[in-house]
Amino acid sequence: MQAYAETLRFGILHLEELAMRKKALGALTALMIAGLTTTANGDGIVKVSIGGEVLGVDLPASTVRSVQEVVSKMGGFSVYDKEAGKLSVEKPDVNILIVEAIQKTAKGDIVFSNPIEGWLDKDIPRNFGVFVEVDNAPPSKELTLKLVLVGPDGKIVDAKDPRKFDTSNKRSFYISQPFISTKLDQYGTYKVQLFMKRDEVSPFVIVGENRFTVGR
Is there a contact between 116 and 128 (Cβ–Cβ < 8 Å)? yes
CA gap 163, 147 in Å, rounded: 9
**What mean pLDDT, rounded, does the chain reach?**
81
Mean pLDDT of 46-53: 83
Give first-to-last CA distance, the chain, whole Å.
28
**What's the whole-number mean pLDDT along residues 133-146?**
93
Q: What is the pLDDT of residue 25?
A: 53
**Best CA proximity match to 88, nearest among 139, 35, 134:** 139
44 inside domain: yes
Which H or E element spans position 144? strand 143-150
Residue 179 lies in a domain: yes
Distance between CA 129 and CA 175 in Å, rounded? Answer: 11
Specify the 3-state DSSP secondary structure of 68. helix
Q: How many C-beta atoms surround the C-beta of residue 85 within 10 A?
A: 15
CATH code, 144: 2.60.40.3880
Tally Cβ neighbours within 10 Å of residue 138. Answer: 23
Per-residue pLDDT at 8: 37
Asked if 32 and 126 sit in the same domain, the reply is: no
Same domain? For 86 and 102 the reply is: no
Give buried/exposed letters for 28-62 (b at 16+ CB in 10 A, else e). ebeebbeebeebeeeeeebbbebeeeebebbbbbe
Residue 7 falls inside a structural domain: no
The CATH number that applies at residue 74 is 3.90.1070
What is the arithmetic mean of pLDDT over 140-144?
Answer: 93
> DSSP string of 76-101?
-EEEEETTTTEEEEE--EEEEEEEEE
The structural domain count of the chain equals 2
Domain of 72, in residue numbers: 16-90
In angstroms, the CA 99 to CA 178 distance is: 10
Q: Is the distance from CB of 176 to CB of 147 less than 8 angstroms?
A: no
Q: What is the mean pLDDT of residues 82-93?
A: 88
- What is the CA 164 to chain-centroid distance, rounded? 15
Confidence (pTM): 0.76
Residues 37 and 48 in one domain: yes
- Crossing angle, helix 64-73 and helix 2-34, to 10 degrees? 170
pLDDT score for 95: 94
| pLDDT at position 53 | 81
Rounded distance between C-alpha atoms, residue 53 and residue 192, angstroms:
31
Question: Of 68, 90, 112, which residue sits at a domain end?
Answer: 90
- Within-domain flag for 8: no
More reliable by pLDDT, 119 or 30: 119
Which of 90, 114, 137 is the endpoint of a domain?
90
